[in-house]
Amino acid sequence: MEEQEGIITLTNENGEEVEYQLIDSITYENAEYVVLLPVDEEDCEVVILAVEADDDEMENYVVVDDEEILEGVYAIFKERFADELDFED
């Protein structure tokens, strides 16, 4: 993982590097999540990942499989950015 000026480079399941813009960091049910937007994709679908600290005090970004958590984090994100972004549900 690499982070520069709000841009995070993550490696996907195919081993390819993908750049994301960090849009928001949200605390939900005592856990931290990030909302990311792919930099080079036309599709404007956000990605929500859980933030987990490892033993080296580094952050790991982990896929969230729980629909309730995803919906809760997304609802907070939509509320925060309601005046700045147009949302399609």
What's the average model confidence in pLDDT over 60-81? 93
Q: What is the structure's pLDDT at 1?
A: 47
Q: What is the structure's pLDDT at 60?
A: 86
Amino acid at 63: V
Centroid of chain to Cα 87: 16
In the chain, what are the domain boundaries?
2-80
Q: What is the structure's pLDDT at 12?
A: 80
pTM of the predicted model as reported, rounded to 2 decimal places: 0.81
User: Confidence class of residue 4 from pLDDT cuts 50, 70 and 90?
Assistant: low
Interatomic CA distance for residues 66 and 68, integer angstroms: 6
**pLDDT (tens digit, 9 = 90+) per residue, 13-69?**
899 898 999 999 999 999 999 999 888 866 678 899 999 987 777 888 899 999 999
